Structure 1
Amino acid sequence: MKTMYYDYKGAKKVNVYKKRMIEKYLSELAWADILEGRLNQGNAHLKHIIEIKPLLPDTIFFTFQFSAAAEKLIEFCVEAEKSPLYEKAVLLLFDLFELRRDAYDRFHNEEEYLATMNQTADYKKLMLDYVVGRRVIDIGPGGGVMLDLIEQYLPDKLPIGIDISSNVIEALERKKQLEGHRWDVIKGDALNLKAYVEPGTIDTVIFSSILHELYSYIPFEGKKFNHDTVAAALQSAFDVLAPGGRIIIRDGIMTEPLAQKRRIRFFQDEAMEWLRRYAKDFEGRTIQYEIVAPNEVMMPVNDAMEFLYTYTWGEEAYVHEVQEQFGYFTPSTFTSFILEKLGPQANIVVSKHFLQDGYTEALRDKISFMDEEGNTVSLPDSTCLIVIEK
C-alpha cells in the first residue's frame, strides 16, 4: 500500500480517504476471517495482506492493498480539495466503496473547520437561555463548543452530541478524553433520532447553524436543497422530545420582501470574477445579477446575501460554502412551515431575527451595499432564533 500520509500546506497529513476505506473494510471483517486467511469479499478495491517473515517468526506483518482504480480516485480527491469538483470526487469514492452518500466529511480540513466552529461560542451561548430539562441533544456539534457551554453553564444538564461525520465524532472523542468532559457523542443520523434515543426522553434538541447544511447536503428522496429534509429533521427531533421539551433553532434566513433588489459596488478588481464563478458553481438555485457599472451589480437581495456569505469567508472556504445555501426560508415562511409540519402540539415561544455580528465589519473594505437608487443601506438580517415547545 502506498503511503498513508501526504503533504497539505507543508504539513504532513494522514490520508483520511484511505483511513475511511480501511475502517469500513475492517468493520466488515471478523478476527476469525483474518486467522483463517479469508478476505473481505464485499469490495474488489481493497484487500489485506498478511505476511510472516522467516527471520521474524513471532511477528505478523499486516498491510492493505488498494486497487489501481481506488488509488487513482484517492489521488483525484487530494487534487480536487480546492475545487468545486471536490464533493463530486468524494461521492465517487463513497460509491466505489459503497459508503452512504450522505455521510459527508470535510476530510482534509476538518481540523480547521472544527476550530472555526469553536470561535462561535459567543452567539451560541445566547441559546442556553432557552434550554429546558436535563437531557439535551446538540445536532451537528462541530468542534464541541455547544457541548462545552452546556457543561460549563448548565452543569445539571446531560449533553449529547449527534453527528453523521466520522471525523467529527473521532475528534470529539479525543477532545473528551484529553480534556475530561462528561458529555457524550453518538455517530448518528439527525433524520432518525429515535434509532439512538427513546422517544419522549429528550428535553431539548438544538440545531445551531446546522439545518441549512442538512438542507443543502442531504438528499431526501433523491433531492438536495429540499425543504422536506428540514421537515424530516424537525419531526425527528419532535418525536424524541418529552412533553414540555423544546427544539432550539439558530440558522440562516432569507429577507423579505423577496422581490427587493440591492446594488453591490466591489472595491477589489477580482470580485467580479468571484461573482461569475460563484453564479456558475452554486448548486442551490440560479443566482441572478446584472452588471450596471464597472465593478457594480444589481441583484435580488437574497441572491446578493447568499453570495456575500461565501465572499466573506474567502477562498479557503469557497469549495464548501458554494455548496451550502444559508437562507432557505424567510422568517414568516419558516414559522408557518414549522406549524404546518409539526401540527397543533408545536408552540413557537420565541421567533426573532438579527444580523450576525462580524458580517458588516468583514465586508466593509470589500463592498458598498446599496439600494436600487445607489444609497448606502445596512445589510439585512442574516440569522433567526426560533424556539419550539412541545
Structure 2
Amino acid sequence: MSTRPDVHSGLGLEAYVQGMARSKGDKARMLPHVRPGRILELGCGSGAVLELLRGFSPASELVGIDLSAKLLGVAARSLQGAARLRRRDLFALAHDPGLLGEGPFDTVILCSTLHELATFALEHPERFPGHPEGPMAEAAARIFGLARALLAEGGVLVVRDGVQPERRPLRLRFRSPELEERFWRFADDFRPFTLEFSVSDGLYTLPSDHLYEFATKYFYETNWHVEVGEYFGWASGRQLEALLRQAGLEPVHREAYTIPFLAEKWAADLEVSDLEGRPYTLPSTQILVARKG
C-alpha cells in the first residue's frame, strides 16, 4: 500500500504530527485495556501512542510498525530508543506474519490505522476480492488475522478508530456562510462515495453517515487533499465485532463516544438535529477490545 503523500512537505508533516499530538489525551482512553509486557502498534505513525505507552508501562517492550519512512524517522527522534521501530507493509505481513520475526505480543494496537487500510482497499478492490461484505471488510479481516497470529494466548487487540453512526436522516444548519461554503467544497471533493443531501432555506437534510464524514474532516486545511479521500466511518461497532470473531478473536469491550474537542467544535460551528428538531450529537470514535483464546 502507499504512504501518505502529505508528510513529505513541511507544512503537511507539521499538521499531521500536531493532529496526532492533540489527540493523545483521548487516545489515553485505550490504556486501561492494554496488557503490559510485549506491546506492538500496527501503523504507529509519528509515535504518539508509543509515547503514551512509554509513560503507562515503562517496563514493557514496545514495537512499532509503519510503512512511512518519514513518520518512522519522526517517531525515532521523539522516542529516543524507547521503542523498536520497523518499516513493514501490513498487508504483506498479513500474508506471512512470520516475516516480522517477532512475537508473541501481549497487546496489539490499531489506532487511527484501520480506516486508512480500509480506504486503501476501497481504492484498490482488485487486490481484496472474495469477502461477501466487500474489499474494506476483506482488508480488516486480513489485519485482524495478522493481529491474532502475533498475539500470545490471552493477549488483546485494542482498536481505536472512526465509527459509522446509526443510519438515520439528520438536519444540518451552519452558523456561518463560510462553513456552508466549506460543506459545498467537501461534497465535491470527498472521494469514497457521493455525498447526498437536500436543502431548503439553509436547512440541509442528509444521512447521518454522510454528515459524519463531513463533520470529522471539515476543519482540515493543509492536509485537506488527503483527508477527503479517507473513509473514517466505514464500519459500525457490530460490523467490526463480527469481523473480529471471524478472525478468531473474541470481543470483550466496545464503546462509541464523541471526542471533547469535536463536541466543542461542532457546538460552535454546526446545528445538528433529528427530523423532529431535537439536538443530535454524532459519535466520533469507537474503541474495541478483543482477546485471543
> TM-score range with shorter-chain normalisation?
0.7 to 0.9
Alpha-carbon separation, structure 1, partners of 2:78 and 2:263: 33
- The correspondence for 1:241, drawn from 151, 154, 169, is 151
Aligned to 2:216, the other structure's residue is in SS state helix
Q: How does 1:110-149 map to 2 (within 5 A)?
A: 110-149=13-52
Contact 1:143 1:168 in 2 (8 A): yes
Shift of 1:105: 3.7
Contact 1:134 1:203 in 2 (8 A): yes
Greater RCO (CA < 8 Å, at least 6 residues apart) = 2
Amino acid at match of 2:188: K
1:314 aligns with 2:220: yes
Determine the structure 1 residue equivalent to 2:4.
Answer: 104
Task: Give a deviation string over 1:35-83, Cα, whole Å, max 9, x none.
Answer: xxxxxxxxxxxxxxxxxxxxxxxxxxxxxxxxxxxxxxxxxxxxxxxxx
Determine the structure 1 residue equivalent to 2:57.
Answer: 154
Contact 2:197 2:205 in 1 (8 A): yes
Task: Give a deviation string over 1:128-162, Cα, whole Å, max 9, x none.
Answer: 21112411111222221211121112012111111
1:332 aligns with 2:241: no
Aligned to 1:148, the other structure's residue is in SS state helix
Indicate how the Cα distance of structure 1 residues 111 and 274 shifts in structure 2: closer, same or farther if over 3 A, else same. Answer: closer
Alpha-carbon separation, structure 1, partners of 2:36 and 2:57: 10
Contact 2:15 2:222 in 1 (8 A): no
1:382 aligns with 2:289: no
Determine the structure 2 residue equivalent to 1:52.
Answer: none
Amino acid at match of 1:205: V
Determine the structure 1 residue equivalent to 2:204.
Answer: 297
Q: How many residues are matched?
A: 279
Shift of 1:192: 3.6
Shift of 1:197: 3.0
- TM, length-normalised to structure 1: 0.67
Contact 1:310 1:317 in 2 (8 A): no
Contact 1:290 1:298 in 2 (8 A): yes
Determine the structure 2 residue equivalent to 1:288.
Answer: 196
Q: Which has the larger radius of gyration?
A: 1
Percent identity reads 26
Contact 1:136 1:159 in 2 (8 A): yes
1:182 aligns with 2:82: yes
Shift of 1:196: 4.5
Unaligned runs of 5+ in 1: 1-100
Determine the structure 2 residue equivalent to 1:66.
Answer: none
Aligned to 1:352, the other structure's residue is in SS state strand
Alpha-carbon separation, structure 2, partners of 1:145 and 1:286: 33
Contact 1:133 1:245 in 2 (8 A): no
Alpha-carbon separation, structure 2, partners of 1:315 and 1:286: 21
Shift of 1:195: 4.7
Amino acid at match of 2:152: A
- TM, length-normalised to structure 2: 0.88
Alpha-carbon separation, structure 2, partners of 1:221 and 1:304: 29
Amino acid at match of 2:41: D
Contact 1:248 1:385 in 2 (8 A): yes
